[in-house]
């Protein structure tokens, strides 16, 4: 361990790998409520936290373990994270929270992960949080890959939101046909009433013949 008059012991939570203070400072500067999402081996936790000099104030929270009372089991997967986000957003709205910024701590995010499943639930619950194209597939959010739990998911959704689960949005099928008159690949656009006329190749230029007979040449000075 280093010693000396200029040595300073780092913050305990930094030494323990629990808090990235530089990232936390950036979130606090936004002035928005932090949507704190944490996962464990058996739980997903969503909290809405406001900064205070005396200590962070938790405005609303929800845990995936609460979903068991609503009939949905499995506390650490994508569908449970989504429902937890919905439940947390509902309580946050009741507490007057309308906007927030995502706080995932020191977790390594990846597109379509459980963390972003919870964020999708928060946004669908009515709390505006900036996010890009990072959410899981809609089918995974609805537990379609867990066929035996799809019905329980729909029932839990209805208990949280107060209305039935809406039908799944249909994806557009393929690309549309090219517009009439659009040029085909590698050619000119077809004309109305028939195929495009063939372009004639320019005739090769004939070499000009000289009027002088072969072998005759003029030399200067003769």
C-alpha triplet 114, 47, 158: angle, nearest 5°: 70
Look at residue 153 and tell me if it is in a domain: yes
Query: In the prediction, which pLDDT does 217 show?
Result: 46
Look at residue 119 and tell me if it is in a domain: yes
Look at residue 103 and tell me if it is in a domain: yes
Task: Give the C-alpha separation, 7 to 129, whole Å.
Answer: 40
Query: In the prediction, which pLDDT does 169 show?
Result: 77
Look at residue 180 and tell me if it is in a domain: no
Domain total for the chain? 1
Query: In the prediction, which pLDDT does 200 show?
Result: 58
Cα–Cα separations (whole angstroms), residue 202 to 20, 187, 205, 211: 73, 19, 9, 27
Query: In the prediction, which pLDDT does 220 show?
Result: 46
Query: In the prediction, which pLDDT does 196 show?
Result: 53
Look at residue 170 and tell me if it is in a domain: no
- Percent helix, strand and coil across the chain, each to the nearest 5: 30, 10, 60
Look at residue 210 and tell me if it is in a domain: no
User: In CATH, what number is assigned to the domain containing residue 46?
Assistant: 3.30.420.100
Per-residue pLDDT tens listing for the chain (222 residues): 567 778 777 777 766 767 777 777 778 788 899 999 999 999 999 999 999 888 889 999 999 999 999 999 887 899 999 999 999 999 999 999 999 999 998 888 899 999 999 999 999 999 999 999 999 999 999 999 998 899 999 999 999 999 999 998 776 665 555 555 555 555 555 555 555 555 555 555 544 444 444 444 444 443
- For tokens 């008059």, name the residue: 5
* pTM of the predicted structure, to 2 decimals: 0.71
Domain, as residue range, for 45 = 31-161
Beta strands 34-39 and 44-50 are antiparallel
Query: In the prediction, which pLDDT does 222 show?
Result: 39
Look at residue 95 and tell me if it is in a domain: yes
Look at residue 204 and tell me if it is in a domain: no
- For residues 42-56, one letter each, b for 16 or more C-beta atoms within 10 angstroms of the residue's C-beta and e for the rest, the string is eebbbbbbeeeeeee
């Amino acid at each position: 361990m280093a010693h000396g008059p200029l040595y300073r012991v780092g913050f305990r939570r930094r030494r323990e790998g629990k808090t990235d203070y530089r990232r936390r400072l950036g979130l606090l500067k936004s002035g928005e409520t932090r949507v704190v999402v944490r996962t464990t081996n058996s739980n997903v936790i969503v909290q809405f936290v406001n900064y205070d000099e005396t200590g962070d104030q938790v405005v609303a929270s929800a845990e995936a373990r609460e979903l068991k009372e609503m009939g949905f089991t499995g506390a650490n997967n994508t569908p449970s994270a989504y429902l937890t986000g919905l439940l947390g957003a509902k309580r946050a709205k009741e507490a007057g929270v309308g906007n927030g910024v995502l706080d995932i701590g020191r977790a390594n995010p990846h597109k379509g992960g459980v963390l972003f499943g919870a964020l999708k639930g928060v946004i669908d619950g009515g709390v505006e949080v900036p996010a890009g194209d990072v959410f899981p597939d809609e089918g995974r959010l609805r537990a379609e890959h867990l066929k035996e739990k799809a019905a329980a998911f729909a029932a839990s959704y209805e208990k949280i939101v107060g209305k039935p689960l809406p039908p799944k949005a249909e994806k557009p099928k393929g690309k549309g046909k090219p517009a009439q008159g659009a040029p085909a690949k590698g050619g000119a656009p077809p004309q109305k009433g028939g195929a495009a006329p063939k372009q004639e190749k320019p005739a090769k230029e004939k070499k000009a013949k000289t009027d002088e007979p072969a072998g005759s040449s003029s030399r200067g000075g003769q």
